[in-house]
Amino acid sequence: MSKILFVLTGADHWTLADGTKHPTGFWAEEAAAPYEAFTAAGHEVVVATPGGVVPTVDRGSLAPEANGGPEGAAKVAATLDAFAQLRTPIRLEDADLAEYDAVFYPGGHGPMEDLAVNADSGRLLTDALGSGKPLAVVCHGPAALLAAVDEDGANAFAGYRVAAFTDAEETQAGLADRAKWLLETRLREAGVDVQAGEPWAPHVVVDRNLITGQNPASSAPLAAEVLKRLS
């Protein structure tokens, strides 16, 4: 059995360009699908958030239209209800990489607010990348990669091939023109090699021990890639 650290946003909003606080958090499917896959395989999951705050689920991610209909919405809600670790997170600041066999970052717009500028998360990501342990990040989770910088401002993930929520998807979702910045653009500016797939289709990119997914539909395929490396 392996022990997997889930690092979730502690934010419940995303501040837009005009100062509006857009309600958000983590995206349900992106936590639920990997949790289900990892625990079904017998692995242990530990949740960490900045400050140890109980993470907020983006209410929009629980809607039927975000889950392929009412049945899918009921299933993801039931999985989150069973995901007891979400209610007892440890402090991200106290997380010790040596205790874990893999690290996973789900998305939602929340990471755009807090993990993108969280130095503790940035150090954990840098250490995880260097450890060779599976490091999996999905959708808006790669916003956290922006905080993985050295003293000179160089990004630890520069030159790595990565999948992340694209500018095209943000535009189609209706928030691109209201955002302070866009994830794909900012990652490219940091030297990250973003490999954009078709909008909303599953797309997973593997580069060394880094496993990334583009969008919510990529969550389950990403989890499968992690499981291959833990078997």
pLDDT digits over 151-169, tens only? 899 999 999 999 999 999 9
Q: If you count them, how many residues does the chain have? A: 231
Q: Which residues of 147-158 are buried (b: 16+ CB within 10 A; e: fewer)?
A: bbbeeeeebbbe
* Token digits of residue 75: 């299933």
* Token digits of residue 163: 């999948």
Higher confidence at residue 231 or residue 17? 17
pLDDT in tens, 41-92: 999 999 999 999 999 999 999 999 999 999 999 999 999 999 999 999 999 9
In the chain, beta strands by DSSP E: 3-7, 13-15, 21-23, 44-49, 90-91, 102-105, 135-138, 161-162, 193-194, 204-207, 210-213
90: three-class secondary structure by DSSP: strand
pLDDT in tens, 154-210: 999 999 999 999 999 999 999 999 999 999 999 999 999 999 999 999 999 999 999
β 193-194/135-138 pair status = unpaired
- Cβ neighbourhood burial of 87 (10 Å; 0-12, 13-18, 19+): exposed
In angstroms, the CA 213 to CA 205 distance is: 6
Enter the pTM of the model: 0.97
In angstroms, the CA 25 to CA 108 distance is: 6
Average pLDDT on 213-230 reads: 98
Average pLDDT on 215-227 reads: 98
pLDDT in tens, 96-109: 999 999 999 999 99
In angstroms, the CA 114 to CA 128 distance is: 19
β 3-7/44-49 pair status = parallel
Q: Note the pLDDT of residue 45.
A: 98
Rounded-to-10 torsion of CA 175, 149, 137, 205: 100
Mean pLDDT, rounded, of the chain = 98
Q: Note the pLDDT of residue 151.
A: 87
pLDDT in tens, 16-40: 999 999 999 999 999 999 999 999 9
